[in-house]
Amino acid sequence: MTRVQRRRRVVAGAVVAATAVMLSACGTPAAPGSSGSAETVSQAEIDKAMSTPTTIDFWSWVPDIQNQIDLFEAKYPEITVKLSNQGGATAQYQKLRAAVKSGDVPDAVQIEYSFLPSFTITESLENLAPYGAGELSDQFVDSAWAMVGTDDAVWGLPQDLGPTGQLYRTDIFEAAGVEAPTTWDEYAEAAAAIKEKTGSYISDLPGNSFSPILALLWQAGARPFGYDGDKTVTIDLDSDEVTEVIGYWNDLIQADLVDTAPQLDDNWYQSISSGKYASWLAAAWGPVFLQGTAADTSGLWQATEMPQWDASEPASGNQGGSAITVTADSDAKIVAAEFVKFLATDAEATQTLATEQFIFPSRIETLDSPEVRDQEMEFYAGQKVNGVFADIAQTVDSDWQWLPYNDFASSSFKETLGAAITEKKDLFAALADWKDELVSYGEAQGFTVVTP
């Protein structure tokens, strides 16, 4: 019996049990041609730039990041950083593309890892390797550095990270007589028990965002996307790993053991707070987010790693995370590069970002510091949740890649596989539709599309 068949059999068993009960009673941005100078910027050039009165524009949606800007300006009093929030990631990318087209660009910009290739392919970002950024690779978690660095270029520095873990309601799990599942076999069994004994869903798999399902694919070893940095992309949605994951969740959905409601809207917030969902496969930003969303359930939650396909080889996948970049058309590249390096590597800046603004760090020293790792969270009954996710971050493989047309991949997902998830239809037919759309779009954009 193959690994896929064995997993599907376990899920099917849980599905049959649940049905009986019912009857009786949620890459690396490889680069095209380098933007900017390939010559190393000297320390003398850096010192001169940082002592010359200069104003740079910085676009970011991070709450209260002015705090870290103030630290930078205190260290470099001749430099002024003008902060602008363009309305969140999606709105910011639209405005950034318009700014690039006009030539009137900000100097430094926050960009999610998944969208970096769509800006490197248009040569909109400055290669930071000549500014010394390549020497900083060992300061960051491997899966974060892999999102920004290639063999010959560095397209930004990691700011935050979103390794996926499991947040669960201890009271609901206890009422169902189950413990937090450590394997996906156990997860299917727990889903059936929780539904039978409490009426709650074990969790929600949303169709309005592809981040959760991609994190599940990432964890399982699937690599649905590939990009060589030039004109070749890979779409691999037929691998054994993809089949395993999609089949697993297809079975749970058809048995009504998981919900498929849109995530992070008012209805979802109410469902989390009311106990409709017994757990959440959440990114590292989730624990703090949940405190505000379900404040009335304080003390009833715990954090642990995702259920595993192979418990002897723990793995996870990221949901989110972003880099700080410098635009290729910036008039103050040296200053902007030094600002990016400061935000990403300065001890105080990264520490306060993690402990006061609760941005999960990708810098290893900050992530492993007692102030971050050992921070007890009352909402989780005093558990050191950051420590749990810090360990999970080390289990995320670094060989994941994103397509250079991630905007389309995301919107197409919502209309195909995402729609099937939401409507509880057959996922495999919708997966084939998503693949067809990704291939057709890539070819229409002039890419050579490889489908293994």
Superfamily of domain 164-318+400-450: Periplasmic binding protein-like II (3.40.190.10)
Considering the entire predicted model, what is its pTM? 0.91
Q: What was the pLDDT predicted at 10?
A: 44
Per-residue model confidence as pLDDT tens digits over 186-231: 999 999 999 999 999 999 999 999 999 999 999 999 999 999 999 9
Neighbours of 59 (CB within 10 A): 22
Q: What was the pLDDT predicted at 38?
A: 65
- H helices of 103-199, in order, are 116-120, 142-148, 170-176, 184-198
Q: What was the pLDDT predicted at 232?
A: 97
Q: What was the pLDDT predicted at 449?
A: 98
- Token digits of residue 293: 């969303």
Flag whether pLDDT at 3 surpasses 80.
Answer: no
Flag whether pLDDT at 252 surpasses 60.
Answer: yes
pLDDT classification of 89: cutoffs 50, 70, 90: confident
Per-residue model confidence as pLDDT tens digits over 375-428: 999 999 999 999 999 999 999 999 999 999 999 999 999 999 999 999 999 999
Count of positions (residues) in the chain: 452
pLDDT classification of 13: cutoffs 50, 70, 90: very low
Q: Report which of residues 87 and 451 the model is more confident about.
A: 451
- H helices of 76-123, in order, are 89-102, 116-120
Per-residue model confidence as pLDDT tens digits over 162-178: 999 999 999 999 999 99
217: closest CA among 322, 115, 316?
A: 316
Q: What was the pLDDT predicted at 224?
A: 98
Flag whether pLDDT at 22 surpasses 50.
Answer: no
Do the domains 164-318+400-450 and 43-161+321-368 match in fold?
yes
> C-alpha dihedral over 205, 208, 211, 215, to 10 degrees?
20
Q: What percent of the chain has pLDDT over 70?
A: 92
Contact between residue 249 and residue 426 where contact means Cβ atoms under 8 Å apart: no
pLDDT classification of 336: cutoffs 50, 70, 90: very high
Summarize the confidence of residues 270-280 as an average pLDDT.
96
Per-residue model confidence as pLDDT tens digits over 111-146: 999 999 999 999 999 999 999 999 999 999 999 999
Contact between residue 447 and residue 434 where contact means Cβ atoms under 8 Å apart: no
Q: For 121-130, b where at least 16 C-beta lie within 10 A, e where not — what string?
A: bebbbbbbbb
Q: What was the pLDDT predicted at 150?
A: 87
Residue spans per domain, the chain: 43-161+321-368, 164-318+400-450
CATH assignment, 43-161+321-368: 3.40.190.10
